[in-house]
């Protein structure tokens, strides 16, 4: 059943993205007076064909649905059959350089517009997200240096001491604001409230390099979701947790006297205490209508195990953890939803470009590249989570497709745009000979990137 959901979700995702991308080319081509011969979804043998009596465009669905194309009237692609004189003004190659530029750029632009609309729909329909409550930060992290102790709810952020204050509505909102500030090397002031009122906490992100901005970015800053309940969801037989007496349903309140409400910080603490006894404060009971359970102190010795990734000895207790974090329903008005959708699309596009640049110069791993297998996997997972998650996933992939097509690689839209910019500056069309050379080089790049992405897919699938 899961496989069927993944296949269907992947087909819907690819179908929507391809149609939108190609329709961008098609609509601007028609607007510029260019005749479109074929609009194809997929490649290979046609499964369905229909010719519009009004425009003469052949609409096709082909057997291999991993892409599509729009074929326009062009003197360079007619073979031996000349184009009638009355149709020459409608040929793509007869258009001005800026019209050709607009037609080619319309595909990626359509993907970005789709992402804006999808994100706006998510924001307008409302989403349930973790509240911006932070857990006790690890020592010496920027959050700890700023004075956070854990349990504070971040309500606003401003740049420096004089910037305009922006509200923080959820954990996701906080992450995006910190991510943007880190890329721009800004000094921020976070406003957070606790039982004593609202206080300001300065966070200096000017020393954060782009290579530090990854999936662990928030953790390195010392920010983890807090304010929730850290529960034992399962205990492995024969583990240190079982020997110490931990049972499913226990709530972990503190470790060695330090309050804990976040799985990430708890696991990090346990890993750093291999073979060293630690004391857990555990709450038991409290169910069945009771306001609180009984507090007990349990001594446990994390088992020393070798970490396959680093080769170092780390501590493990053999317990499965679950965090019940406070959540908030976030909903925006139509205008604000569009504004937030545009901002989120811009932030993700910039992040994608910077990440790709880091991979080129070796500052980021090529393992970040993903192919169709991973896309299908996440399509299925997001579809099972609900409409909002699937729409967000679709917007993310649409942005990635738009950015990829704008890269200055021949055979992609960005490569053609580069030719047109050269033509606009020099007044000369890039020769067919050089276009052929660049096309072969570009094709080699695409094949190499596809091979790496497919290898990464297989590595994730079979865990090697």
Q: Which two tokens stand for residue 219?
A: 């953790």
Cα distance between the two ends of the chain: 26
From 6, 22, 224, 283, active-site residue: 22
- DSSP codes joined into one string, 128-193: EEE-SBBPPPPTTSHHHHHT--S--EEEEEEETTTSPPEE--SHHHHHHHHHHHHHTT-EEEEEEE
Confirm whether 22 is a catalytic residue: yes
Q: Which residues pair with 252 in a beta bridge?
A: 230, 282
Nearest CA among 236, 231, 223 for reference residue 250: 231
Question: How far apart (Å, rounded) are the C-alpha atoms in residues 154 and 168?
Answer: 7
Determine how many CB atoms are found less than 10 A away from the CB of residue 228: 19
Q: Give the helix/strand (H/E) hosting 41.
A: strand 36-51
Measured CA distances, 324 to 152, 233, 353 (Å): 17, 11, 35
Nearest CA among 206, 111, 177 for reference residue 343: 177
Please list the active-site residues.
Answer: 22
């Amino acid at each position: 059943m899961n496989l069927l959901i993944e296949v269907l979700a992947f087909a819907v995702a690819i179908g929507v993205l391809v149609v939108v991308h190609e329709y961008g080319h098609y609509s601007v081509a028609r607007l510029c007076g260019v005749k479109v011969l074929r609009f194809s979804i997929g490649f290979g043998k046609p499964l369905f064909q229909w010719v519009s009596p009004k425009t003469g465009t052949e609409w096709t669905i082909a057997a291999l649905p991993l892409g599509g194309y729009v074929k326009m009237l062009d003197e360079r692609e007619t073979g031996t059959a000349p184009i009638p004189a009355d149709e020459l003004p409608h040929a793509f190659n007869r258009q001005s350089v800026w019209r050709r530029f607009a037609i080619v750029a319309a595909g990626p632009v359509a993907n970005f517009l789709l992402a804006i609309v999808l994100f706006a729909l998510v924001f307008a329909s409302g989403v349930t997200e973790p509240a911006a409550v932070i857990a006790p930060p690890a020592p010496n992290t920027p959050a700890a240096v700023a004075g956070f102790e854990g349990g504070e709810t971040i309500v606003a952020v401003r740049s420096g001491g004089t910037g305009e204050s922006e509200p923080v509505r959820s954990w996701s909102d906080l992450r995006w604001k910190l991510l943007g500030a880190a890329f721009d090397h800004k000094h921020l002031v976070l406003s957070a409230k606790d039982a004593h009122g609202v206080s300001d906490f300065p966070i200096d992100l000017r020393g954060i390099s782009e290579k530090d901005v990854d999936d662990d970015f928030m953790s390195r800053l010392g920010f983890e979701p807090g304010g929730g309940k850290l529960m034992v969801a399962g205990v492995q037989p024969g583990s240190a947790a079982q020997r110490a007496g931990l049972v499913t349903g226990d709530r972990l309140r503190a470790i060695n006297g330090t309050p804990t409400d976040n799985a990430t910080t708890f696991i990090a603490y346990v890993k750093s205490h291999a073979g060293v006894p630690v004391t857990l404060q555990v709450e038991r009971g409290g169910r069945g209508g009771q306001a609180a359970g009984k507090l007990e102190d349990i001594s446990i010795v994390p088992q020393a195990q070798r970490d396959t990734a680093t080769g170092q000895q780390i501590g493990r207790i053999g317990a499965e953890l679950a965090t019940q974090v406070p959540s908030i329903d976030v909903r925006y008005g139509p205008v604000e939803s569009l504004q937030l959708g545009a901002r989120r699309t811009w932030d993700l596009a910039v992040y994608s470009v910077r990440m790709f640049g880091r991979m080129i110069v070796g500052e980021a791993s090529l393992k970040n590249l993903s192919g169709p297998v991973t896309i299908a996997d996440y399509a299925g997972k997001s579809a099972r989570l609900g409409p909002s998650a699937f729409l967000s996933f679709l917007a993310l992939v649409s942005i990635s497709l738009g950015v990829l097509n704008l890269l200055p690689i021949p055979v992609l839209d960005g490569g053609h745009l580069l030719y047109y910019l050269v033509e606009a500056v020099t007044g000369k069309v890039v020769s067919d000979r050089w276009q052929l050379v660049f096309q072969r080089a570009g094709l080699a790049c695409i094949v190499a990137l596809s091979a790496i992405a497919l290898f990464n897919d297989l590595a994730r699938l079979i865990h090697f």
